[in-house]
Amino acid sequence: MCGIVGCLGFKNPREYVLNGLKTLDYRGYDSAGVAYYNDGIRIYKDVGAVEHLMEIVPQDIKTEIMIGHTRWATHGVPNVANTHPHISKHKKICLVHNGVIENYEDVKKFLISKHYDFYGDTDSEIVANLIEHYYLSENDILDSLKKCMFVLKGSYALAIICSDYPDEMFIMKNGSPLVIGKGDGFNFVASDASPMIKYTDAFIELNDQEYGRITKNSVEVFDANGVKVTKKLIKKDIESISHDLKGYPHYMLKEIEEIPQTIKRLLETYVKDGKYTFDKTLLNKLKESDHIMFIACGTSYHSSLVGGRYFEHYGKSTSKYIASEWAFDPVFPGNKPFIILISQSGETADLIHCLKIIKENNYESLILTNTGGSTLDRNCTYSLLLHAGIEVSVASTKAYVAQVTLLALLADAVADNPKVIEDLNSVLPLIDEIQTSYKPKIMEIANAIKKKEHLFYLGRSYDYFLSMEASLKLKEVSYIHSEAIPGGELKHGPIALIEQDTPVIVFITDHHTALPMRGNIREVQARGAKVYVIATERVATETDNIVVKNYPYYLSSVVVSSIAFYLAYYVTIEKGYNVDKPRNLAKSVTVE
Ligand code: F6R
């Protein structure tokens, strides 16, 4: 994962680089560092978050060029030696790296044979030395980068400074994101546009296998053959990528409360005068296909389970795959499959791997993503944006609801049956009501479960898909181990884990499944479980903990997910953990 930033010619490089790293720390926060040129390359780095780095970097830095990095460890533990920036043996090359070099061991052996040695365990230090090795033998820095691109296997976004060129920054990209921000008399680089948007609205997005040279007034980009590439300037507006908390204490809370406006924005974007505005060719491709495959990870995979069911109800056969599973045993069921990828970030390495396989097999693909300009947005055949606005909290909330909502609209458009539009409009006041009036009840459950080590979520059909997402959300932010179980599967094994006072949270929002779910509740209660029920009015009983007004049952992931998200949020806040940055995780999973 990791976040990188860099600037040239900017009047306050310390401010840009450190604030930029703070903005990017959703990508990793094990350790952080900066490097700049002032009569030689100077480096400040340490284990810990960017806030700590801010304390150790001098206030009065004088430089024209600076790079910075916030790390999510892949090679080597988080310690000072492994923290970026990394400098080469002869101190010529200093760089920050996001990505994973797959053949770093071979490259390391090669460099050892050339009398290089290493102070840490990272693949990134090896890249710095490889560039230096070529540079010292040929004295041409751009040519050294081109040679490295041929040798290195894996993913990298690199911002590089060379002690012989104090006014120039060098960049290289493959598989990991890198964006250039163009200013007037200054230029920036970063992993995404968010650190730069305060200072410029003009960006250049690099493609894979591109490298280049940046000065404060110019940007040159080359392809892998060394041919200069003409890049177009992309404009982005501040609203779409602003990290402003807007008065909320945490991003997770802010983002949960943006769910209603996210649904409205999707309706405004994909529906005009009661009719769908989806691209006709895309709809035809979906209609003509005899099988729809979904590929995604984590929360996005959970939304594919719901979306797949929508298409199945319209008579389409579907399959849903976890990207990291499918990539190692790819199958293309049906005679004419159509492939839908889902990714909030649009940068998930497991999914990019799948896309490569899809392309090698000459299939088209559609990406549903929240990030216009991301790798998957640019490289899939079709793209539909989620329009959820930037999601900063590591735990995905509004993007999940946006994915499910968009899949409901798309399935409906393919079936030529615009019923979902009315249903979605009808649930908006209900979500508002949950968000304004249900918090005390949710907090009661949060207080009751916060000290538990294990718990279970139960549901059937759409409520089971919702349980899976509720369970993932709770475990990733509150560190309570939780598992989602389809009600009917209980007695096939998991019920063995139910003991006196084991918490079991049950969703019953679907009248088709209410009866067997009540049976499941009796089964776990008979073994001592402490049950918390979230039900709709139609199927509720007096003892249920939270009762929600009735709504079209297939929208439980759109409506009741707010309750599940608040629950995860409040438990975590009660436990005093960092809800926006849970341990060991990062927002954009750019390593496999
Ligand atoms: C959980 C969460 C992750 C992501 C997963 C895929 O809250 O956010 O499970 O859903 O890492 O990420 P994207 O959707 O960016 O491909």
Tokens for 257?
Answer: 């409360």
- Rounded CA gap, 233 and 416, in Å? 38
Instruction: Work out which ligand 1 atom sits closest to the CA atom of 350.
Output: 16
CATH of 438-581, one of 3.40.50.10490, 3.40.50.300, 3.40.50.2300, 1.10.1200.10: 3.40.50.10490
- To the question of domain 250-430 being in CATH 3.40.50.10490, the answer is yes
Q: Residue holding tokens 């067997």?
A: 516
Query: Given this model, what pLDDT does residue 554 score?
Result: 97
- Torsion, Cα of 389, 392, 395, 400 (10° steps): 10
2 is catalytic: yes
Residues of the chain with CATH 3.40.50.10490: 250-430, 438-581
Main-chain phi, psi angles of 169, to 5 degrees = -115, 145
Ligand 1 center to residue 400 CA distance, Å?
9
* pLDDT computed for residue 558 by the predictor: 98
Q: How many CB atoms lie within 10 A of CB 225?
A: 8
Q: What is the pLDDT of residue 155?
A: 87
pLDDT at 434 (0 to 100): 97
Of 301, 304, 324, 344, the residue with max ligand 1 atoms within 8 A of its CB, to mutate for a pocket test, comes to 344
Instruction: Using the mean position of ligand 1's atoms as its centre, give its distance from the Cα of residue 489 in Å.
Output: 26
Decide if 200 contacts 20 (C-beta within 8 A): no
Strand pairing report for 234-235 and 93-98: unpaired
List residues bridging with 12 in a β-sheet.
none
**Which atom of ligand 1 lies closest to the CA of 587?**
8
> How far apart are the CA of 150 and the centre of ligand 1, in A?
31
What is the atom index within ligand 1 of the atom nearest the CA of 400? 10
Using one digit for the tens of pLDDT, what is the confidence trace for 202-215? 999 998 899 999 99
Q: What is the pLDDT of residue 202?
A: 95
CATH number of 3-239, picked from 3.90.1640.30, 3.60.20.10, 3.20.20.80, 3.55.10.10: 3.60.20.10
* pLDDT score for 25: 84
Is there a catalytic annotation at residue 94?
A: no
Ligand 1 lining (C-beta closer than 6 Å):
297-300, 343-345, 348, 351, 395-396, 472, 476, 589
Nearest atom of ligand 1 to the alpha carbon of 369: 14
In the block, which residue shows the tokens 């002032």? 38
8 Å CB contact between 169 and 161: yes
DSSP alpha helix (H) spans, 314-437: 323-326, 349-360, 375-379, 398-414, 420-437
How far is residue 429's CA from residue 491's CA, in Å, rounded to a whole number?
Answer: 38
Contact 76, 123 (CB under 8 A): no
* pLDDT-flagged residues of the chain (< 70): 1, 239-240
Distance 261 CA to ligand 1 centre (A): 21
- Where does the chain hold its CATH 3.60.20.10 domain(s)? 3-239
In tens, the pLDDT along 491-504 reads 999 999 999 999 99
